[in-house]
Amino acid sequence: MENVLVKTPKPPSLKSLYGLTKPARRLSAHLAQHPDLLVKMPLKYAAGVGALGAYAVGRTLGLKPAPVREPARGDRRFRDDAWAESLPFDLLKQHYLLAAEAAESLVAQTPDFEGKEAEQARFWLGQLTSAASPDNVPFTNPQVVRKTLETGGANLRRGLANLLEDFSPEQGQLRISMTDSSAFEVGKNVATTPGKVVFRNDLIELLQFTPTTQTVHKTPLMIVPPWINKYYILDLREDNSLIRWLVGQGYTLFVISWVNPDSSLAHIDFADYMRLGIMEALNAVEQATGERRVNAVGYCIGGTLLAATLARMASENDERIATATFLTTQVDFSEAGELGVFIDDAQLDMLEQQMERRGYLDGATMAGSFNMLRANDLIWSFVINNYLLGEKPKAFDLLYWNSDATRMPRAMHMYYLRNMYLHNRLVQPDALELDGVPIDLRRVSIPVYLQSSVDDHIAPYPSVYKATEHYSGPVTFMLAGSGHIAGVVNPPSANKYFYMTNDAVPPSVEAWKAGAERHDGSWWPHWDAWLQVRSGGQVSARQPGSEKLPALEDAPGTYVSA
């Protein structure tokens, strides 16, 4: 057999582990000032272990004692029946939960340890306790034990083969497969709504979609998606495509498709995304339709850019955007959510140094940060499936899109992280300039629709609600069920989740929820009703590719596949 030399990755340096070691050092320093906690916490843990011993005796005697600890609601790690039915596995599970609880209490009960440093310590402790879960170990996971006995270890051999496929010796990185990527092809079975590319520059392709109704609303609709991922999260399948649904509701729909930037675009900054993205798209929409005013939609960071652009336009009396809809969008980052654990001066300095050579942040690095926010579901569940059970991941369009990550240009990304997440300057009047023009969100007086999701961990709904304090025009806030993605992509045909509405906009989101009405199903029709009355009368359907703006190629275009 030919010998194959596999280059092993270098061990991580202390510098690369700064996000972990810094909060650990701070926590240790705080605990050193309160030695009583180092006594109380082990005693409490020991009491839990003692109760677990009594529980074990009760079960051995045939009794049915109440568990000492049970998994939190939504924790899917211990769904296998053996975790409850087999006493050894049951005790292992409960002991782990006791230990994880004790670790978490180190942060929660340490006096004077709060704010950003406590959030970081809590996050990294959570990463460690997730990694230490017994279901991640072959001989303490009952499902893996059964599979190994049934197959004579073939599952572990297949798992090793899967591991070697996912490991890149050249880059020294393990990229865990989350789906069967061979099952999908952009333009073939995802991103299939018919349309044309009607405009292109170095940063965007503008897609105009083919109408399916004889007449359409007079005012065009333009979507500004995030550039952290690709636009087709809104066009995955025919039955869950927001793009296809909006076309069916009679809107002339345009969607920006961002380029996947390389080193040549390292200099592109936030203002370039405004100018080459939204502003040039507005010009193109006017050329294509003859309509000067559009209704705009911004999703996530695309919404943050839209808000900043609206403030810039307002300062120059540019009224080309008639209404704005924001999907899971933050403009006030004072309560930014779990991504904030990666944001402080030192970590951003390190990130900028990492991007210096290539001029961009690799898409896999960005995706890895997001996956860490839900490590049990988006990391460890695939470790178990792929490497311990030896299974190939199933075909899942959402995870295919999630894995189709994009790169972040250095100048834009650092501007965004420092000015929004770190210093929260977007909501500070005239604290930011775009192309030399100071911006103030209070100048935005057009009607605004804010969509948020109750389980969104990237843009938490209390953070989204803070935008109501900063716009001066009429604001409609809506809270949908589920999270950052499923809360948005929830078609009426699915009959899933719920949404909450309240015509009032009180100072706090808690007061808003107290007076809100809950509705079953999708929020899309509610938004459509809001949008229709602000979209003008009916005109003949507009086909993409007019004489003034000829079609360049079929949707989904070229940029989405790069």
Catalogue the active-site residues: 300
DSSP 190: B
Q: Give the number of other Cβ atoms within 10 Å of residue 537's Cβ.
A: 8
What is the 3-class SS of 513-552, one letter each residue? HHCCEEEECCCHHHHHHHHHCCCCCEEECCCCCCCCCCCC
> What is the Cα–Cα distance from 300 to 328, expressed in whole angstroms?
5
Instruction: Determine the Cα angle at 310 with ends 461 and 559, to 5°.
Output: 85
> What is the Cα–Cα distance from 287 to 253, expressed in whole angstroms?
14
> What is the Cα–Cα distance from 127 to 20, expressed in whole angstroms?
10
For the CA atoms of 549, 552, 555, 559, the dihedral, rounded to the nearest 10 degrees, stands at: -110
What is the 3-class SS of 311-376, one letter each residue? HHHHHCCCCCEEEEEEECCCCCCCCCCHHHHHCCHHHHHHHHHHHHCCCEECHHHHHHHHHHCCHH
Q: Are 299 and 234 in contact (CB under 8 A)?
A: yes
DSSP 391: P
Strand partners, 3: none
Residue 24's nearest CA partner among 102, 99, 106, 105 is 106
Continuous H helices in 201-249: 242-248
Q: Which amino acid is at 91?
A: L
Sign of torsion over alpha carbons 476, 477, 479, 483 = positive
Q: How far apart are the first and last CA of the chain?
A: 38
Q: Which amino acid is at 462?
A: P
- 480 is written with which tokens? 């949908």
DSSP 561: G
CA 337 to chain CA centroid, Å, is: 11
Residue 245's nearest CA partner among 550, 534, 560, 525 is 525
Q: Which amino acid is at 430?
A: D
Instruction: Determine the Cα angle at 147 with ends 146 and 151, to 5°.
Output: 120
What's the order of all strands across the beta sheet hosting 498-501?
517-520, 498-501, 475-480, 448-453, 321-327, 294-299, 221-224, 253-258, 204-209, 195-200, 553-554
Q: Are 109 and 103 in contact (CB under 8 A)?
A: no
